[in-house]
Amino acid sequence: MKYLKGISLILIPFVSFCAFQQVSYQSDIAPIINNKCIKCHTSPSGNGYSATGLMMDSYEALMQGSVYGPIVVAGDSQRSILNMQVEGRAGDVRRNLHNSGNALTNDEIKAFRMWVEQGALNN
């Protein structure tokens, strides 16, 4: 519970920032995915794809999720596996793949969070 309270304190200023900026799947999210995710989350060669079945080469594939189910809960970045992964909230092995070294910049992490919070639209 302590941990959850900490997260909401971090998110409050962020949520007010969201109200002013619309994130677009086509112009904001897809380019990040193409740069930083697709090489591992494509069929058949990507190791993220072979480990989880998660393909990210289209909006539809992203929303379909992995063999474990959807990774995006529209409107709720706290519960979306996608955001957990890139924010390093998903455990050590996954964090190493998704939130270290050449992973994402803070702005890219924010873009994913805002996109999900704004309904994960195909816009």
The residues that touch ligand HEC, with contacts defined as CB under 6 A, are 36-37, 39-41, 47-48, 51-52, 54, 66, 68, 71, 81-82, 85-86, 93-94, 97-98, 104
Nearer to ligand HEC, 18 or 46 (CB): 46
- Determine the Cα angle at 55 with ends 26 and 29, to 5°: 20
Q: How far is the CB of 2 from ligand HEC (least distance, A)?
A: 26
Helix (H, G, I), strand (E, B) or coil at 94: helix
d(CA 74, CA 90) in angstroms, rounded, equals 18
50 phi-psi bin (left φ>0, alpha ψ -120 to 50, beta other) = alpha
Q: How far is the CB of 50 from ligand HEC (least distance, A)?
A: 8
Nearer to ligand HEC, 12 or 93 (CB): 93
Q: How far is the CB of 74 from ligand HEC (least distance, A)?
A: 15
Phi, psi (degrees; rounded to nearest 5) at 109: -60, -45
Cβ burial of 81 (10 Å; 0-12, 13-18, 19+) is buried
Q: How far is the CB of 112 from ligand HEC (least distance, A)?
A: 7
Residue with tokens 């086509």: 26
Nearer to ligand HEC, 11 or 38 (CB): 38
Nearer to ligand HEC, 15 or 51 (CB): 51
